[in-house]
Amino acid sequence: MNREQIIEKLTKILKSGITQVSIAKAIGTNETYISKYLKGTFEGDIEKLEKLLIEYIHKFEISKTTRDFIRTKDATCILGICSSCQKLEQLGLVYGRSGFGKTTTLKKYANSTDKVVYIVCNSLMNANDIIKRIAVALGLKGLVGSKDERIAKIKEFFKYNKGYLLIFDEADKLLNKDTISKLDVIKTIYDEVDGDGVGVVLAGEQHLKTKLALYFEMVRNRGDLEWELKGLSREEVVTYLQDIKITPKALEELVLRATNENNGCFRTLNRTFKSVERLFEDRNEDITNKEVGLEDIKSACMLMPK
């Protein structure tokens, strides 16, 4: 990692909310050294400082990756469905409670895989909006004509550009008075003829499958390519916290917040722990070198938006 790369990564870390003081404390140096290094005016042992900074960046990136995404059972199944639907040109369903990590996982697949169109649906979208979103994502910005003509051009694109997957996140938002016309767009673009279509994944809240089945007959017999979100297990919470020193009581509190039947979910766990991290930063303490206690979590929860 050269100087330019180190500065680029440090700048991103600082923009995320981490302070120069926190970085300096984490690597055992003075914050003015960090400031001078970023400005290109540091005159000390630059090799030693860069070695410490690279180690810090590496730890930060590992921690950030762990916090933002963990390969839970839900995530593994969602990724598997996306992959299968893309390879086999099939229809997949993902549904369950909000906050279980559905969107995070779908975005991870879309961002790390070629030929994936990821669309977030909303209740204001109509059939023309869906056609336009798909066309723009494919680079077909100049599509004109009737709905049928534009859909035909999109289908022709998929016919000659194999291996695409369309992901419609929050697809339950499409289920309103105009449901039939909107689903007809997706249904028409989706082609069950092997080798001449495109894969589709529909994701949304718990009622998605039941309501879709009323309009989309093929949904009823797709059990092998659907997943109802289960939520986090205790073991998955422990994995999420694997690089953090934490007291038994604090661990149990986070497990409860992540797994309780009423509102426990990945989103709650992630938000809670990010608040704990902010609390430590405000106290100019490095969370990787301190033990997180129950009182830390209670204090952090007071900082969370209601």
* 263/212 Cα distance (integer angstroms): 25
Give the model confidence (pLDDT) of 31-48 as tens digits: 899 899 998 898 889 899
Answer with the one of 228, 254, 271 that is the final residue of a domain: 228
Question: So what's the pLDDT on residue 119?
Answer: 95
293 and 242 in a common domain: yes
15 and 153 part of one domain: no
**Least trusted range by pLDDT, from 2-16, 58-72, 85-99:** 58-72
Residues 148, 107 share a domain: yes
b/e per residue 226-258 (b: at least 16 CB within 10 A): bbebebbeeebbeebbeebebeeebbebbbebb
Q: Left (φ > 0), alpha (ψ -120 to 50) or beta: where does 175 sit?
A: beta
Whether the CB-CB separation of 125 and 183 falls below 8 Å is answered with no
Is pTM, for the whole model, over 0.75? no
Domain end residue (candidates: 68, 85, 113): 68
Instruction: Select the more confidently predicted residue: 266 or 219.
Output: 266
Total number of domains constituting the chain: 3
Q: Do residues 114 and 219 share a domain?
A: yes
Check whether 216 has a pLDDT greater than 70: no
Least Cα distance to 23 among 7, 10, 12 occurs for 10
Same domain, 52 and 107: no
Residue 66 confidence (pLDDT) above 60:
no
Is 80 exceeded by the pLDDT of residue 19?
A: yes
251: domain CATH number? 1.10.8
CATH for 41: 1.10.260
Beta-strand ranges (E) seen in the chain are 91-95, 116-120, 165-169, 199-204, 226-228, 245-246, 291-292
Are 241 and 206 in the same domain?
no
Q: Which domain holds residue 58?
A: 3-68
Residue 131 shares a structural domain with residue 38: no
Instruction: List, for residues 78-128, the tens digit of each pLDDT value.
Output: 999 999 999 988 889 999 988 898 999 999 899 889 999 999 999 888 899
CATH number at residue 77: 3.40.50.300
Q: Are residues 242 and 220 in the same domain?
A: no
One domain, residues 197 and 81: yes
**Does position 193 have pLDDT exceeding 80, yes or no?**
no
221: exposed, middle or buried (C-beta count within 10 Å: 0-12, 13-18, 19+)? Answer: exposed
- Identify whether the C-beta of residue 6 lies closer than 8 Å to the C-beta of residue 50: yes
Say how far apart CA 99 and CA 77 lie, in whole Å.
16
From 228, 246, 265, the end of a domain falls on 228
Q: What percent of the chain has pLDDT over 90?
A: 37
Statement: residue 15 has pLDDT above 60? yes
Same domain, 211 and 268: no
Residues 243, 217, single domain; the answer is: no
CA pair distance 204, 171, nearest whole angstrom: 5
